[in-house]
Amino acid sequence: MNIDSIQNGIVIDHIRAGCGMQLYDLLKLGELDVSVAIIKNVTSHKMGKKDIIKIDADIPVDLDVIGFVDPDATINVIRNGVLVEKKTLALPEKLTNVLKCKNPRCITSCEQELPHVFKLADRAQRLYRCIYCETKA
Ligand code: ZN
């Protein structure tokens, strides 16, 4: 794919440098049958360095996951070569099946079918806790 000219797809911009791969993994982009480009350490006037992810397909992306990894990232939706939508993010109040509780005695480790849910406990510290056992993420 020509990474500069996506016709229909999503560009996740202004990702904190070094977070691109984590986002790629958490969004499970490697499991999709679409072209994805991660561009690392791009020079940015605003941020010094940043990462960018370009997805060459108009697929739904989990905004909560992106907001969790980097609430300052921006999402550009491109259709027919034109930027049609810009989305900004915030730290999500709740994360479902993004993180796994590490407490071996948590109910989620014996009840496999339970969703792993974390709630934002402290916005300033970006602290999440398991809703079942309160363990920190
Ligand atoms: Zn737990």
pLDDT, tens only, 74-123:
999 999 999 999 999 999 999 999 999 999 999 999 898 999 999 999 99
Structural domains counted in the chain: 2
Same domain, 79 and 13: yes
- Round the CA-based radius of gyration of the chain to a whole number and report it: 16
- Identify the band that residue 4 occupies on the pLDDT scale cut at 50, 70 and 90: low
74 torsion bin: left (phi>0), alpha (psi -120 to 50), beta (else) = beta
The pLDDT assigned to 135 comes to 97
CATH code (residue 26): 3.30.70.140
pTM attached to this predicted model = 0.86
| Residue 1: pLDDT over 90 | no
Q: How far is the CA of 116 from the centre of ligand 1 (A)?
A: 8
Q: Domain limits at 25?
A: 9-88
Listed residue (8, 11, 24) closest to 86, CA to CA: 11
d(CA 102, CA 42): 34
Q: How far is the CA of 31 from the centre of ligand 1 (A)?
A: 27
Q: How far is the CA of 100 from the centre of ligand 1 (A)?
A: 8
Same domain, 25 and 69: yes
- Give pLDDT tens digits for 44-70: 888 899 999 999 998 999 999 999 999
Q: How far is the CA of 130 from the centre of ligand 1 (A)?
A: 5
Q: How far is the CA of 131 from the centre of ligand 1 (A)?
A: 7
Same domain, 98 and 80: no
How many other CB atoms sit within 10 Å of the CB of residue 102? 11
Q: How far is the CA of 108 from the centre of ligand 1 (A)?
A: 6
Question: Do the domain assignments include residue 1?
Answer: no
